Copies of this chain bind each other. A is one copy, B any other.
């Protein structure tokens, strides 16, 4: 499937609603536990998604689309959420993510990106030159990766409870 801005927005605009539907009002046991040492809880993942909205995707797209000659991205902090989410509740994080995501989609759409822009580039701290289409398809895929991860973290809370069925549940053995 070739990159499409419209089809990307279809996913990006749904993610906050998907997370709200999955998580709003459920017991803390599902969202505050992780998959074991050095892994993230659902709460941590939502904080990470928020940090991405604040410092990553649209800001990088704007660098690529800008007239500046310096197109270098700032490195992304993968651990910022542990500090930033500290005094917040999960419903607060879900609302904050939704608000930021909606603003960022509007901000991206306001650039009137066309196919001619897809090959424009910026400089990633680790990968060097990357295209706008690669950045935006990564934004989409990153959402889906974390939805998948959240389902896995939750499933693992029942790892000991499923008994012999663990044989059929790949998700519990990842």
Q: Which residues of A contact B (CB under 8 A)?
A: 1-3, 6-7, 10-11, 14, 17-18, 21-22, 25-27, 29-30, 33, 124, 127, 130-131, 133-135, 137-138, 140-142, 144-145, 147-149, 151-152, 154-155, 157-158, 161-165, 167-172, 174
| A145 nearest in chain B by CB position | B171
Q: Known contacts being A17-B21, A30-B10, A134-B164, is A151 close to B140, with CB within 8 Å? A: no
- CB pair A1–B29 under 8 Å, yes or no, is yes
- Nearest-neighbour CB distance to chain B for A43, whole angstroms, equals 15
Count copies of this chain in the complex: 2
Q: Which 7 A-B pairs have the closest CB atoms?
A: A134-B163, A137-B161, A148-B151, A144-B155, A127-B164, A138-B165, A145-B171
